[in-house]
Structure 1
Amino acid sequence: MKLLFLACLSPKTGNYTTAERIRSHIESAGHSCELRDVADFHSPSDVAHLASQNPPFEAALAIHLFKAGRLLLDLRLPFGVIFGGTDINEDVKDEQKRVVMEQVLLKARFAVAFTEKLKEEAEFVLASPDSKIYVQPQGIQTEAAEQFCWTEFLRSSGVRTECLDELRVFLLVCGLRRVKDPLYLADVFSEWHSENLHNVLIIIGPKVDPALTAEVEAVVKRATGVFLAQERSQRELHAAMKRCFAVVNSSVSEGMSAAILEAMDLRVPVLARNIPGNAAVVKHGVTGLLFSSPQEFMHQSQRLLSDQELRERVVRNGKLYVEEHHTVKQERETYQRLVDKLHKAQFSA
């Protein structure tokens, strides 16, 4: 079967990584899957025109009901959708977007939510029958680059000190977008660094929003102890994560943060902002630590610094949690089974 797959494909973002992984699951079952960026299309008719090319597409899939799913509404093909975090956390607050999302969900043969809570909220706010929404957490598989120079990484990020091996690096992994709130901890971290030069925050990720990128660069230029690293390949990023003291998430909204799960898989402690998407995977004091303000972030960080037993516990439990709930094997089987539904629907249409 020839399948069209739409997603937001800004390079080296979580959406891109997730879409590529799901595409590989589909193709490993023998299907052809063409992954396209939603930015390439202006309207549903553009997608309908593409889908009718020769040979035509036979089914479709989309990540994000509003951003991508709306582009499938003119298709006369069976399709499925995957919820993104902004669908339920942000887009449903806009009445026009919510109506479009309901239309998409009504027409879709299935929908996938990353968590049980996201499924429950979707059923409530979008009035969807529960039989249509499946829960499948993201599958996580990490691989760190063997050739990776930590010292070079720190110096290229702007860190200037002779005591690089003594640094406690907190790594904030995020694309520079408003929803990721990359400057949330900048002020408090700058103050903390002034008190103890060993504590630094490095923000790393693709520059998605040019205006916000300029803001971040300006803050980093004048702040102390806060740095901005150039984005790296996934293997290099995983190598950097393994060397840092903790991975940080300060997002306003998350569907399911791959960076948090990757840190857990790499046995690195996680400090995450206490929002529904993060709290769904980070159990406070068990698999990581949650904070609701910059001041609480400081408190939890100091706990992690002073309590070795706590650090070992969250690292151990985080790794076990990922191994139990986020296997690539289970994810692959789920998407292959769901795409099978589209294949069968094509013949019954």
Structure 2
Amino acid sequence: MTEGRWWHPARHRDRRPFLLQRGQIRAALGGWFAGEGFLEVDCAALQVSPGNETHLHAFATQFLTDDGRRAPLFLHTSPEFSCKKLLAAGETKIVDFAKVFRNREQGALHSPEFTMVEWYRAGADIGEVMEDAVSLCRTALSATGREAFEWKGRACDPALEPEHLTLVEAFNRYAGVALESYLDDSKGFLTAAKTAGVGVPDDAAWTDIFSAVLVSKIEPRLGEGRLTLLQRYPVCEAALARACPDDPRFAERFELYACGVELANGFHELTDPVEQRARFEADMVLKQALYGERYPVDEDFLAALSVMPDASGVALGFDRLVILSTGARSIHDVQWTPVET
């Protein structure tokens, strides 16, 4: 039935108000970054490595050279590696409104191709970029003239002071699980998760238990009424963030939530190439065990880390921000030409 396709005139008329507001939000965010002195960059999507996080899945392709060689390449899952190379090159405040690609992702809030707003501040701590993320939420909503974010009957007013919550606090409050007690105890963590009513298989890895509790018990409760900044992730769940100086079991990572929806993910960036390589290799071992594949390490990226300045950065899902700001029903409402399979 063609009536259901995005290009059908009736469906396009239905989606068009959201698409026009998408443009208004894009202009507003561009103005905010310009006002803060950011340089807008445009990172290449084709990379030798798409990223090395266990649960991110990439699209693979090949570059056919003139002499007949086949060089494997990937569509990036984030412009992160390229942006950090630009920091190493000497840039200090950059933002990319990047098209990114993630396999195995489709749904009301997921698309295999989407827009990510990724920005970095050299010399900044994680608190500064958290403030950026909150300001961008306020800017986006203001561009639409609406009073609150909305998603599936929930509302969130980004003008209110955001809630700051650590992972330890969140696991205790919403799941009754003492996360700090199980950082090195997969068996105990599994038992605690099952006691909390979370369905996880007996052979689940620690990271899968963590994700199951987070997704089922915690995320739906975040960003109710006001934004939530979820902070201090276990270091094994923050592959590119530096460890907290007061407790190396945790990392300087945060995620921003509104209406139970994750909007942004930020790090105080790890710049130690030796530690970064070790984390990548550990993640790829786990990826091989879970999914039967692994991605190459970008050696050029690791080399750039040795001269990259101290910095903090954030990746924000632009399409999701538009959904919540406009009251749209799905990511397909806010993309001009959505991927529909």
TM-score over 0.5 (shorter chain):
no
Structure with bigger strand share is 2
Q: TM-score range by the shorter chain?
A: under 0.3
* TM-score normalized with structure 1 length: 0.27
Structure with bigger helix share is 1
Q: Which has the higher contact order (CA 8 A, sep 6+)?
A: 2
